[in-house]
Amino acid sequence: MAWSTRELAERAGTTVNTIRHYHRTGLLEEPERRSNGYKQYDVHHLVTLLRIRRLVSLGVPLAQIGDVRARADSASEVLQALDAELQQGIARLEKARADLAVILRDDVPADVPAGFESVASQLSEADRSIVHIYTQLYDQSALSDIQKLVEADTDGLGADLDELPADADENTRRRLVDRLAPVILRNNRDYPWLTDPMAHLAKDPSFAAQTLAHALNDLYNPAQLDVLERAHTLATDLERTVPEPEEKDTTDDD
């Protein structure tokens, strides 16, 4: 008994268009035609079609199905590569679910940079934007340190800088510079790479510097940029005059 294309599609749980596509790609051989010109498929075609659909369900690309079916060694290579891709995909999905759990739990913006969900409330709109750019410029180790720096801002310096108006007077700027410089000095000592980030750049240094310069100029107002520049300069001066704190001796006295 022979089947039409529609009848074959029904038996294989697929569509007529899919069968026609498999014919065009050479995966499914064309059957003989009846005297009226209609195709007539048999069990051989149904089994071939079901085998193709099985490989498709596993994620094997159509372009590789012919090799997988024809050569056992090729099948092993393709399936091992596919398994590795699936493992990576599962890891990405698990990471996405973990991030979503934090976003939903803490009710933070969904577009907060990955890894910064727990400190999202401490980031202004400009800060979130610059951190997104950081994710393209720095490696994961540096991003982890930046997240710790945000978390350590317990005295509201970041918020004060965010709220600084473009026309802030000199006294206001100076007070903020004096508060910010020691923090920058401490951060530079705790994370020395901040003053020489070459080893942590994920992009070409000139590309990273240009991108960051454009971002800062667009995201922060002139008063904020002035305070940042002066605070970094003062931190450099303090580095020369303020000794590093001695580490506490944690050994027990006998």
Domain with 48 in it: what CATH number? 1.10.1660.10
- Within a domain: 217: yes
Q: Which of 55, 70, 85 is the last residue of a domain?
A: 70
In a domain, 85, yes or no: no
Which of these, 120, 123, 119, lies nearest to 110 by C-alpha position?
A: 120
Closest CA to 224 of 122, 126, 112: 126
- Count of Cβ atoms closer than 10 Å to residue 237 Cβ: 11
Q: Which of 48, 70, 92 is the last residue of a domain?
A: 70
* Residue 230, in any domain of the structure: yes
Neighbours of 177 (CB within 10 A): 20
Average pLDDT estimate for 174-181? 96
Tell how far CA 248 is from the center of its chain.
39
Number of domains making up the chain: 2
- The answer to whether residue 209 sits within a structural domain is yes
Compute the distance between CA of residue 193 and CA of residue 60 in angstroms, rounded to an integer.
Answer: 44
Same structural domain, 130 and 210 = yes
Domain boundary, last residue among 29, 44, 70 = 70
Identify the pLDDT of residue 120: 86
Please check whether residues 125 and 58 belong to one and the same domain.
Answer: no
Whether 114 is in a domain gets the answer no
User: Where is pLDDT greater, at 155 or 48?
Assistant: 48
Q: Nearest to residue 88, comparing CAs of 119, 68, 59?
A: 59
Residues 133 and 24 in one domain: no
Q: Do 44 and 134 fall into the same domain?
A: no
Q: Which residues constitute the domain of residue 58?
A: 5-70
Query: Does residue 250 register a pLDDT over 70?
Result: no
Q: Are residues 154 and 46 in the same domain?
A: no
In a shared domain, residues 136 and 226: yes
Q: Does residue 62 sit in the same domain as residue 158?
A: no
How much is the mean pLDDT over the chain? 90
What mean pLDDT do residues 230-239 have?
A: 94
The verdict on 215 and 149 lying in the same domain is yes
Residues 66 and 124 in one domain: no
Residue for token pair 């704190």? 245
**pLDDT band of 33, cuts 50, 70, 90:** confident
Does 237 share its domain with 125? yes
pLDDT tens figures, 50-92: 999 999 999 999 999 988 888 877 788 888 999 999 999 999 9
Residue 79 in any domain: the answer is no
Tokens matching residue 70: 């024809």
Q: Read off the pTM.
A: 0.65
Is a pLDDT exceeding 60 seen at residue 254? no
Per-residue confidence (pLDDT) for residue 74, from 0 to 100: 77
CA 142 to chain centre: 15
Please report whether residue 43 resides in a domain: yes
Indicate the range of 49-53, 148-152, 219-223 predicted with least confidence.
148-152
Considering the domain boundaries, does residue 25 fall inside one? Answer: yes
Q: What is the pLDDT of residue 87?
A: 94
Same-domain check for residues 154 and 42:
no
